[in-house]
Amino acid sequence: MELHQLRCVIAIAESGTFTEAANALHLSQPALSHAVARLEKELGSRLFHRNSAGARLTAAGEALLAPARRALAEVISARTAVQAVAGLLSGQLSVIGVRTAAVETADLVVRFHHRHPGVQILVEQPADDRAVVEAVRNARCDIGVIHGTEAPPDLPHTPAGTQQLLALFPDELAPPGESVTVRYLAEVPLVVPLSGTSARARHDAFFRNLARQPTIAAECTDHSTAIELVRGGLGATLISGSRHARINTDGVVARRVRPDIRPDLAAIRRPHGSPAAEAFFRMLTP
């Protein structure tokens, strides 16, 4: 039994599909399936029920999940003990940032790298804040970057910046002027986050006090896809100013939103984290 096999089992259990788990672990799906198949052969039990809807744990898989998480936590603890002696000249830091804060997460990682260039940094970007919280809580990642409203009370957290949301329109639908109101956005077709995600809950909250709810043109999980749908003329979408500064603006136009929508971001970690995680938090302390 190998640690990377346990990581595969945990990732599939958390995501519910082999495809999403492979993406999270930066593996090809055949490599992930092979690792699980080898482990199932070694244990003599199937660990997952597979069907068109995804994968769910068998009874044997359920029995393995908690010990697998403990084993990974022990490995992290062992690494922490060595790093505490060796300092931060080397070692690893795993950072998981929600996809809607990808640019801000990358900026934080770059800042940390400049301070501690000897630390190898692993970065993941799931679509939902809840996946970030679970990855940190289960000791799969050291640091999480989420929206401040999603920070759980049982994990240490600290402010990690603020986003300013802009409205992005296809050229042909762009209104005149430099800004639009939230009420105006409720009158145009919108490309929005997937229903049931924390991103969608925050999005819907922007329109909660309006008599008219927005018209949904499309739902998707990825900002890059949303931008391309806007470019193709499906409707408008909300995008962070930091991401807008880095995209190809051909065929799209951004407008400020009135009143300002400025979601706060937060970094989270486990109590008694690694020296690298502690250093990451110190970097964010004014």
Q: Could you tell me the pLDDT band of residue 85, with boundaries at 50, 70 and 90? A: low
Q: Could you tell me the pLDDT band of residue 245, with boundaries at 50, 70 and 90? A: confident
In the chain, the largest separation of any two C-alpha atoms, in whole Å, equals 66
Average model confidence (pLDDT) across the chain = 89
* pLDDT recorded at residue 87: 59
- Compute the distance between CA of residue 63 and CA of residue 60 in angstroms, rounded to an integer: 5
Q: Could you tell me the pLDDT band of residue 90, with boundaries at 50, 70 and 90? A: low
pLDDT above 90 covers a percentage of the chain that reads 55
* pLDDT recorded at residue 84: 60
Q: How far lies 60's CA from each of 65, 76, 77, 192, in Å?
A: 9, 25, 26, 38
Strands 237-240 and 165-170: antiparallel
Q: Could you tell me the pLDDT band of residue 83, with boundaries at 50, 70 and 90? A: low
Strands 179-181 and 48-51: unpaired
CA dihedral of residues 62, 64, 70, 74 (deg, nearest 10): -160
Q: How far lies 45's CA from each of 16, 34, 197, in Å?
A: 19, 15, 33
**What pLDDT digit, counting tens, does each position of 150-175 carry?**
999 999 999 999 988 899 999 998 99
Q: Could you tell me the pLDDT band of residue 228, with boundaries at 50, 70 and 90? A: very high
Q: Is the pLDDT of residue 243 over 90?
A: no
Domains of the chain: 1-86 (1.10.10.10), 88-162+263-286 (3.40.190.10), 165-258 (3.40.190.10)
Full-model pTM: 0.64
**What pLDDT digit, counting tens, does each position of 194-208 carry?**
998 888 888 888 888
Q: Is the pLDDT of residue 247 over 90?
A: no
